[in-house]
Structures are given as structure tokens and as C-alpha cells.
Chain A
């Protein structure tokens, strides 16, 4: 059997920066306060939702930024205890909270600024009860965490929560090694960009342009 390489395409022409994916991720994974695994970034001016340029020649679009689940991940190489590792079957870059010693080497090694987040204190929540899927591992103080590509959902044959929640249907998910998958087809048919391709990490997230 050919190994999978699970990935995503995110259509920047369809994205309306509604932040639904970021919120869906936050709720699905019961993320602690201040912690966002998926963020909607503005490509344009110096502030969120601000265009660059001078009226009427304005330019602005958005990308959503989370772990790129690289084929050649910089984080996996540097983790001294193997707490962050690549799942051989799916190509998903995973994180073992129980193993993480909190050295933050992976955060320094990852070129995608801020996709890894550290729980700088005992996780706190706005709600008094947990939200999202009960199969999500509990969050721990002083460990690094990041997008899991909704590992708990993949196990049930479901797409990641962000893909499901995208109101503009800008996000697609699938196996990049399968030429017939939606993602492979979109990459073939549309122009795309990857983030920081010059760093050689071969990200599995493709931004359709």
C-alpha cells in the first residue's frame, strides 16, 4: 500500500477571513485561553484586516496559518526525546504531550513563526467545562503543542474540524499521494503557493491562488 501524505489546500480566493476555521479548531480541541493552533493572517497592511497600498490601489488577502505538516519537518529532527514525530502512515507531524520536556527546541527550529505554541502556565479556560471532542488529549502546562490535523477525527474517518467548518468552502483535505484526491486535483488545476518553500521543509499545506 502506498503511504498517505495527508495535506490541505486552502483557497485564498475563496477565503473571506471569517475566522470560522480558527474558532472551530479552538473549540474542537478545547484549546486553553490565549492558545490558537490555527490563525487567520492578513497579507496586506500592518494590522489585521487592513489592506496595503493607497486608495484606490489597495491589496489584501488572507491566509490561515497552522502547522504545515512538512514532509521534511525541521521540528522532528531537533526534538531530543522524539516527542514530536512524523506518523509514517499518514505523514502527519504529531506531538506527544507526555513525552515533551519543554525545551522549546522545536519552536526555535520551525520556520513557520508561531505555529507551535507553548503552554506558558497551567492551562486556563473561559468555560468551566471542556468543549469539543472528548478524544482530544488533555492540555498540559509547560509542553509544546500545535495543530494535530485533528488526529482524533482522522481516526474516525472524518476531515479536520477547520475543513468542515469553512463557510466559504475554501479548505480541502485529502491524500496528496493519491492523484485522484480533491487536494491533488486542485493542486494540478490551480496555481498554488507554499509557505517558505526555500527552507526546504516541503510543507503539506498548499495555498491556492
Chain B
């Protein structure tokens, strides 16, 4: 993970003309310290996981991915919002959102680093990562994702750097606009490709749908916009930046629209899966009334409530917008859980056979027992490693706020 950290721009790289960041005080220092401690603890747990083996996680042969890949999907989604919100107005020459674009891009960069980190902690042999570049199988959707995610990270950093340069009086608006267009295209691609890791697999009924890629884009817009809203409202409260309520309202309305599109896609998918009353009906039953029902209903109810707050003018107060944004973020996380665990929840071959501790979690109670509840649930170690990775993200975010000139230019 060290290379990810070094990929962030050096705090001293910015032009001296850019207003220097003066933000902090004790609060942010304590935050940075806590995040650093959590990151180090996570690293230690990762070492435990690698030395003792992935057997310490809840993943098994029948459910070969878990919390890490769920969070990978989730964070790729979260990373979208910031970049899209800051690059869309620039790319199309529209009025922006009052100077929040640098902070928004910074959240994007942090989330992208986290997404990559979650893939790394999921690997059995992270030391063999170099093979991805030496023996690339360019036909693999996973390889596409690695290429696109890497490009996306570099572009986001380049975009932030170009914005800073532009504000410092250097660089042309045209070049900045060009970067923003490319970054925007890359953002759309990054979500589509992440979806294709799942959506191109004919092996899992639930995953194999053409809708998955656009749906990932819409989910990314939902949780990305929500994250930006939460961050900018918090930063406004902390006095880091000033933002008129009109911009917040504009963002909230956008969030409402995104949430509705996402729910619409979900409805389309459920109807298409369930209507023939064939094998897809099993997927619908699993989601609505089966082991994944709590995640399904949390998502649906949370997203509806979020849309209500976003669309009813009287409810669009800052605290409620934050609540609505958090509901949407939780909702999209639930969506990711449904997708990942749901894919493994219905085995293609469910005949009785020999089970071992490597076959499936809960193997002691047979196939029926293993699939009674959720076939996969994370172990404490997985939560610990995941928390460590999130700590790394918090560290990056706070360090960026403290040291990088991300404040809106006056």
C-alpha cells in the first residue's frame, strides 16, 4: 500500500501564489493522529491475515469474495461523486458549485486509493502484484479495472494539480477543461468496468445482466454526491469553507434525482428477474424475503427517505440533508452487500457432497445449514483490516485538508 500513499501530491508541490492552507488546530491534529493509529493497527492485522492465512476470514471456496471486495465496489462508487461534481460544470462550461471542487476531487482521490487498497488486502499474494503488469491478460475484466482505476487515480491527481495551477494564474482554462472532460469519461468507465467484473460472469444469475454497468454509474452518483454533501456541510460548519445554501440545495436536488434513477434501475432489474417466475424468481425471493432482506429493505427505505428530503423544500435543511446523504450512503453499501453475498448465496450446484472447513462457512451444518442465513459473514479480523484501510483514507483526507491548499480561492 505504500505506493498508493506516495502517489498523493506532495504538499509543497503547489504554486506559492495559491492561498496557503491554514486550517487545523487541535481537532484536525487529533483526527490525524487517531487515523494514523488505526491505519497502523490495520497494517498489523493485515500481516496477521497474510501470515496465518485467509482462513481467518469468513471467505471460503463457495463464497470466495467478501467484505473487502464489497468495500472495493463501494469505494469505487464513492470516488465518483467528487470528480463528477467538480468536472461536469467545468467540462460543459456551466456554473460550478462555488469553489468546492478541489475538496470534492480530494475526496475522490482518497476513495480511489482506498478502493485499490481493498483489492490489495483481498489478495492471497500481494507480493505478486507486479505480475499484473508483466503477464497482463488484457481480456480479463479485472485487468481492465486495474488499468482504468490506475488511470483514474492519475487523472484525478492531474486534475487537482491543474486546478491549483490554474488558480495560481498558470495554465490555460482550455487545458484544464480538456483534463476535466477526460477525467469525466474515465469516471464513467471506472464504474462500468467495476460492474463488468461481476456483470460479465454468466456463472451467477444475479450478476449477469447488462443493466449492471449503468446501475453502477447511478449508484456511484448517489453515494458520491452524498459524500460530497456530507463533507462540504461538515467543512462549512468547521469554518473551512463558505458555501451558499443555494449550491447545497442544487446538490441535494441532484442527489434526489440520482437516487430515483438508482431505485428505478433496481425496480427494472427485479421485475425482469422475477417476471418469468423462473430461476430469477429465486434471486428476487432471496432479496426481498430471504437472508439478504435486511439489506434490501434498508436500501429501499433509506433511498426513498433520502429522495423525500431532497425534493421537499421544507425538509432541505442542512442537518436533514446530512441525514439523507448518510441514508443514501448506507443504502448503497447495502446494495453492494446484496450484490456480492447474493451472487454466492444461490449455488449453481447444490447437491449434497462432502463439506470441509474450506468449502463453505458454516460447513458443519451441511449445505442446507450453510445457506440458511447469509452464506458469508465477515470475521472480526476482516472488520479490523477493513477499519485499518478506512483509517488510511481518513488519514489521507485529513492530511490533505490540513496541508493541501484545497480551500476555495477567494
Which B residues are CB-close (under 8 A) to A141?
53, 124
**Contact B64–A118 (Cβ < 8 Å):** yes
Q: Which of A4-12, A103-111, A125-133, A151-159 lies on the face that meets chain B?
A: A103-111
**Binary interface profile of A, 30-61, with partner B (CB < 8 Å = 1, else 0)?**
00011110011111111110100000000000
Which A residues are CB-close (under 8 A) to B131?
81, 99, 101
**Binary interface profile of B, 131-163, with partner A (CB < 8 Å = 1, else 0)?**
110111101111100100000000000000000
Output the least CB separation between A134 and chain B (Å).
25
Contact of B65 among A41, A80, A108, A120 (CB under 8 A): A108
Q: Flag whether A77 is at the interface (Cβ < 8 A).
A: yes
**Contact B197–A105 (Cβ < 8 Å):** yes
**Contact A34–B348 (Cβ < 8 Å):** no
Q: Flag whether B319 is at the interface (Cβ < 8 A).
A: no
Output the least CB separation between A104 and chain B (Å).
4
Which A residues are CB-close (under 8 A) to B353?
39-42, 48, 65, 114
**Contact B129–A101 (Cβ < 8 Å):** yes
**Contact A111–B352 (Cβ < 8 Å):** no
Cα A112 to Cα B350 in complex, Å, equals 10
**Contact B124–A41 (Cβ < 8 Å):** no
**Contact A114–B351 (Cβ < 8 Å):** no
Cα A36 to Cα B358 in complex, Å, equals 10
Q: Flag whether B354 is at the interface (Cβ < 8 A).
A: yes
Which B residues are CB-close (under 8 A) to A209?
none
Cα A117 to Cα B64 in complex, Å, equals 9
Contact of A195 among B119, B197, B349 (CB under 8 A): B349
Q: Flag whether A78 is at the interface (Cβ < 8 A).
A: yes
Interface size on A, residues (CB 8 A): 55
**Contact A108–B140 (Cβ < 8 Å):** no
Contact of B201 among A79, A83, A109 (CB under 8 A): A109
**Contact A142–B354 (Cβ < 8 Å):** no
Which B residues are CB-close (under 8 A) to A41?
349, 351-353
Cα A78 to Cα B352 in complex, Å, equals 28
**Contact A80–B146 (Cβ < 8 Å):** yes
Q: Flag whether B288 is at the interface (Cβ < 8 A).
A: no
**Binary interface profile of B, 281-297, with partner A (CB < 8 Å = 1, else 0)?**
00000000000000000
B31-87 with Cβ < 8 A to chain A: 52-55, 59-62, 64-65
Which of B126, B136, B140 lies at the interface centre, i.e. has the most chain A CB atoms within 10 A of its CB?
A: B140
Contact of B347 among A42, A113, A195 (CB under 8 A): A113
Q: Flag whether B357 is at the interface (Cβ < 8 A).
A: yes
Cα A102 to Cα B134 in complex, Å, equals 16
Cα A111 to Cα B351 in complex, Å, equals 14
Nearest CB in chain B to that of A45: its residue? B352
Which B residues are CB-close (under 8 A) to A81?
128, 131-132, 134-137
Q: Flag whether B359 is at the interface (Cβ < 8 A).
A: yes
A74-B203, A101-B132, A113-B350 known; A142+B143 contact, CB < 8 A: no
Contact of B202 among A42, A82, A200 (CB under 8 A): A200
Which of A109, A112, A118 lies at the interface centre, i.e. has the most chain B CB atoms within 10 A of its CB?
A: A109
Nearest CB in chain A to that of B138: its residue? A80
Cα A9 to Cα B1 in complex, Å, equals 48
Contact of A78 among B54, B132, B140, B356 (CB under 8 A): B140
Q: Flag whether A163 is at the interface (Cβ < 8 A).
A: no
Which B residues are CB-close (under 8 A) to A50?
352
Q: Flag whether B123 is at the interface (Cβ < 8 A).
A: yes
Q: Flag whether A199 is at the interface (Cβ < 8 A).
A: yes
Q: Flag whether B122 is at the interface (Cβ < 8 A).
A: yes
A108-B64, A118-B61, A141-B53 known; A77+B140 contact, CB < 8 A: yes
A113-B350, A196-B348 known; A108+B203 contact, CB < 8 A: yes
Contact of B61 among A47, A82, A114 (CB under 8 A): A114
**Contact B140–A39 (Cβ < 8 Å):** no
Q: Flag whether A100 is at the interface (Cβ < 8 A).
A: yes
**Contact B349–A65 (Cβ < 8 Å):** yes
Output the least CB separation between B99 and chain A (Å).
40
B342-368 with Cβ < 8 A to chain A: 343, 347-354, 356-360, 366-368
**Contact A78–B358 (Cβ < 8 Å):** no
Cα A168 to Cα B64 in complex, Å, equals 34
Cα A99 to Cα B124 in complex, Å, equals 12
Cα A141 to Cα B356 in complex, Å, equals 17
A165-193 with Cβ < 8 A to chain B: none
* Cβ-closest 3 pairs across A and B: A102-B124, A142-B124, A121-B53
Can you identify 26 A-B contacts, CB atoms within 8 angstroms?
Answer: A33-B356, A35-B356, A47-B352, A48-B354, A74-B201, A81-B134, A99-B135, A100-B124, A101-B123, A101-B131, A101-B132, A102-B124, A102-B128, A103-B124, A108-B64, A110-B203, A111-B202, A113-B348, A121-B54, A122-B53, A141-B124, A142-B125, A143-B125, A196-B349, A199-B202, A199-B203
Having A46-B352, A101-B128, A120-B53, one finds 12 other A-B pairs with CB under 8 Å, namely A35-B358, A39-B354, A65-B353, A79-B137, A80-B136, A81-B134, A99-B135, A101-B132, A103-B122, A111-B348, A142-B53, A196-B348
Q: Which residues of B approach A to under 8 Å, CB–CB? A: 52-55, 59-62, 64-65, 119, 122-126, 128-129, 131-132, 134-137, 139-143, 146, 197-198, 201-204, 343, 347-354, 356-360, 366-368
